[in-house]
Structure 1
Amino acid sequence: MAGPVRPTISDVARAAGVSRTTVSHALNGVGKVDPRTRERVVKAATELGYRPSLRAQRLRSGQSRTLAVVSSMPVAVAGGPSKLGFFMEVAAAAAETALMHGFALVVVPPLDTDPPLDTLDIDGAIVIEPDQDDPTTQRLRSRGVPIVTMGPQQGMDLPYVDLRAPEVGRLLLDHLREQGARRIALLLGSGHRSWYVDLAEVYARFAEEHGMAPLVVEADESGGEDTGRAACAELLAQHPDVDAICAAVDAFAVGAVRAVAERGLRVPEDVRVATRYDGVRARTTTPTLTAVDLHLGEAAASAVELLLANLKGTEVPQVVTNPAPSLVPRASTTGS
């Protein structure tokens, strides 16, 4: 037995007493349609149960109405074993905002191999904290795909959401000193992401301001917690007077906690540990990690809004500043 016949645009046109073109313009919000006519068309479409064909809309507009969110960071730091973290928090908030605007979101997860970006049918992309020579943004730009980044890309003039890295760094360093730390080491990731560059500059000024000899070490991003642990183990062996570690990446902070324990020291009594991102790792590590609320949900929503504005050709500022970060003190620095 055949199912119910799906109403067509011609049925709506007859019911509203207008042309097919007028129906199309009225329902898609294009062209000049008298408000009363638009209301009549919408009413007829609703009564008939008419739903525009998404495939037809795509063919007319040339848009897929799909955005992508891409991580340029290795899986070991972007998500880790749980697959939850900075990347997925951004993706979830971005997906919600995109859907409210009638766009779907493709999540391109962190991969150990290059993601198949050339096969994605997308209108635009959000790239999370790209490195200076990030191949992801280069490949997307070569395809002419509009891009917005979370955090600026060093050496590139792309629209971005400002996560206020210098303020985040100062929050962490000031807190460590307020908790009694006097020999604070900085643990950065390999590469030239804007977050690392900004944090290093803030740390240098902080060290000079307090008469503290700077002590900066790097860990390979691809190793995540393990390389963070190794870097901190070497750091503590060479500089036993270190009493605090400011880790640029939460995975490194977890590794630092392991290295402190392996040396027979305690967190925070002997060595305080603080990190940037207040995510799953910060909340579940023992002891829990002092971190910063970056307001990632708002940042992700802003990235989507900026990308959509650029797709529409709307004149808007190309840098969106996120709300001020706030410190989340926990046991790794306060002991409670």
Structure 2
Amino acid sequence: MNEQRVNKPTISDLAKAAGVSVTTVSHAFSGRRHVDPETAKRIQALADQMGYHPSSMARALRSGRTGVIALASSMPFAVAAGPSRLGFLMEIAASAAMSALTRDLALCLIPPHPAAQGKGSVGFDGVILVEPMRDDPLVAYFEQRKTPIVSIGTVPDRPDIPAVNIRSRETAALLLDHLAQQGCHRVAALIGAAPRTSQIESAAAYEAFVTRFGGSSLLVRMGEEEAEDTAYQETLQLLRANPSIDGIFAAIDAFASGAMRAAQELGWTVPDRLRLVTRYDGVRAKLSQPPLTAVDLHLPAIAEKAVHLLLDQIEGSSRMIEADLPELIVRRSSQMPA
């Protein structure tokens, strides 16, 4: 008895059954172009009835793409992830991976560690860079490979690179104004020395704050390596030399942790003697004693915007988009004593 072979339905069969073009069916499954929601739902229902499953390998062969995007940062591990590995970069990665998955893409995380920053041979359809520096080697590397790039946080002096503007100057101003509202008259700032837009704009916001309220600038720039220990040592010197300081703005949460250690060692109670705020509302801020006032940067929404922007960049469309305004999360570290 001869077995009758049943041919699997093709994308053309599905397009014909749905009364649409093959391109529309492709976009309905990939999410890379807008398809009317009702049309997409009808295509999916017909696909289920017919037993059609899109072939990721076939799509890759037709398009010349891998179906993989990457997420990378030149920030040191101590800043981007921290001891708990649940920091800034990890939060973005989790949200970006989910966003990519809904578009039938895989996300590869390039960890912020020297062993992972080598020039490997893995190819990506595009890459999201998290807060790159001016003249960042990762930008040069991926541009040399002609890999489409988008950035979370604008790239200094590179307006040609599509980016999600995370509004770092407004974030810093929000925190500094909060310190002023809590009665601080002598505010110092701990800001990263690396030329990232977040640190450049935080410094500009601090200098504008000092000009507005009077007094002299107490801005300390620090390297990102060994960030908490560096901030601890620098804050010890800063507080000993300037006993009138009553507030500290830390542009990096690891700096805030180091500043808290220094204050406690000197017997400066927080918030009675010193009020402390930081930029990122992550694990360090929440587990600090007392908990740190910080801002919700809306990182899941930022990651979603970055993935969408990267897909546009892969298709040849380039633009800048704005993140939502950050939200101040007030905790005990900055609250004026009753």
| TM-score range normalised by the length of the shorter chain | 0.7 to 0.9
Counterpart in 2 of 1:80? 82
Amino acid at match of 1:190: A
CA distance in 2, matches of 1:293, 1:41: 39
- Report matched runs for 1:175-324 at 5 Å: 175-314=178-317, 318-324=319-325
Amino acid at match of 1:295: H
CA distance in 2, matches of 1:286, 1:250: 14
CA distance in 1, matches of 2:15, 2:197: 58
Counterpart in 1 of 2:122? 120
Distance 1:185 1:127, change over 3 A: same
Q: Secondary structure at the match of 2:114?
A: coil
CA contact under 8 A between 1:89 and 1:296: conserved in structure 2?
Answer: yes
Distance 1:6 1:253, change over 3 A: farther
CA contact under 8 A between 1:16 and 1:40: conserved in structure 2?
Answer: no
CA contact under 8 A between 2:253 and 2:285: conserved in structure 1?
Answer: yes
CA contact under 8 A between 1:23 and 1:41: conserved in structure 2?
Answer: no
Counterpart in 2 of 1:62? 64
Distance 1:40 1:206, change over 3 A: closer
1:134, CA displacement in angstroms? 1.1
Q: Percent identity?
A: 39
Q: Secondary structure at the match of 1:267?
A: coil
Counterpart in 1 of 2:146? 144
CA distance in 2, matches of 1:82, 1:42: 41
Q: Secondary structure at the match of 2:217?
A: coil
- Report matched runs for 1:146-185 at 5 Å: 146-157=148-159, 158-185=161-188
Unaligned runs of 5+ in 1: 31-37
Amino acid at match of 2:73: S
CA contact under 8 A between 2:182 and 2:336: conserved in structure 1?
Answer: no
Distance 1:235 1:9, change over 3 A: same
Distance 1:243 1:29, change over 3 A: closer
CA distance in 2, matches of 1:29, 1:326: 35
Distance 1:73 1:42, change over 3 A: closer
1:335, CA displacement in angstroms? 6.2
1:71, CA displacement in angstroms? 1.7
Distance 1:206 1:26, change over 3 A: closer
CA distance in 1, matches of 2:50, 2:195: 57
Distance 1:186 1:6, change over 3 A: farther
Distance 1:64 1:238, change over 3 A: same
1:6, CA displacement in angstroms? 8.7
The 10-residue stretch of structure 1 (44-53 or 148-157) with the greater mean CA deviation from structure 2? 44-53
CA distance in 1, matches of 2:103, 2:239: 51
Distance 1:214 1:69, change over 3 A: same
Counterpart in 1 of 2:326? 325
**Runs of 4+ with >6 A deviation:** 15-18, 38-44
1:25, CA displacement in angstroms? 5.7
| TM-score for both structures, normalised by structure 2 | 0.86
1:130, CA displacement in angstroms? 0.6
CA contact under 8 A between 2:9 and 2:50: conserved in structure 1?
Answer: no
Counterpart in 1 of 2:34? none
Match of 1:28 among 26, 29, 42: 26
Distance 1:326 1:46, change over 3 A: closer
CA contact under 8 A between 2:190 and 2:221: conserved in structure 1?
Answer: yes
Q: Does 1:93 align with 2:91?
A: no
Unaligned runs of 5+ in 2: 29-39
Match of 1:49 among 35, 48, 51: 51
**CA-atom RMSD in angstroms:** 2.8
1:51, CA displacement in angstroms? 2.3
1:17, CA displacement in angstroms? 12
CA distance in 2, matches of 1:236, 1:16: 70
Counterpart in 2 of 1:8? 8
Distance 1:203 1:56, change over 3 A: same
CA contact under 8 A between 1:218 and 1:231: conserved in structure 2?
Answer: no
CA contact under 8 A between 1:69 and 1:107: conserved in structure 2?
Answer: yes
Amino acid at match of 2:169: P
The 10-residue stretch of structure 1 (205-214 or 111-120) with the greater mean CA deviation from structure 2? 111-120
Amino acid at match of 2:147: V
CA distance in 1, matches of 2:275, 2:322: 30
Amino acid at match of 2:104: G
CA contact under 8 A between 1:9 and 1:23: conserved in structure 2?
Answer: no
CA distance in 1, matches of 2:157, 2:312: 23
1:39, CA displacement in angstroms? 11
Deviations 1:70-105 (A, max 9, x none): 122000011111101110111111112111222111
Amino acid at match of 1:321: E
Amino acid at match of 2:113: L
Q: Secondary structure at the match of 1:253?
A: helix
